[in-house]
Amino acid sequence: MPRPKLQPTDENRKMVRMMAAFGISQDQIASKVGIRSQKTLRKHFREELDCGAVEANMRVAQTLFKMATSGNQPSATIFWLKTRADWKELRGFEPAAVPPPFIVASDKGEVRV
């Protein structure tokens, strides 16, 4: 007897989207939904799997942006600039290049370095 065809419910879709947003593996999501195969999961819940993580990252980035631009969270501002604007901390003073030595010539033809 063949298995009954999967009919995803709105509740299933919401759960898959949230689990994908939290970073839960497709194998574990399929198990929770009652599906044996990741392929079947992707067939019926493609949009939820694709959008869940993107939406979660978007919300976290939005919160971080608000914290960084509020002026009340300097660590968030520093983190944002380091990760998004390629800022970095320098460890002590390091000259860009060693200057060449000076050469002094006198009227008598002597050369001193």
Please report the pLDDT score of residue 108 as a whole number.
67
Query: At 60, is the secondary structure helix, strand, or coil?
Result: helix
Q: Which helix (H) or strand (E) holds 104?
A: strand 104-105
- The answer, yes or no, to whether residue 5 has pLDDT greater than 60, is yes
Q: Are 49 and 18 spatial neighbours (Cβ–Cβ below 8 Å)?
A: no
Residue position matching structure tokens 């002094």:
104
Average pLDDT value for residue range 106-110: 65
pLDDT single digits (tens) 10-50: 999 999 999 999 999 999 999 999 999 999 999 999 999 99
Q: What is the DSSP letter of 72?
A: S
Give the C-alpha separation, 62 to 78, whole Å: 16
Q: Which helix (H) or strand (E) holds 69?
A: helix 38-70
pLDDT single digits (tens) 39-91: 999 999 999 999 999 999 999 999 999 999 999 999 999 999 999 998 988 77
Cα 42 to Cα 13, 25, 34, distances in angstroms = 12, 12, 13
pTM above 0.85, yes or no: no
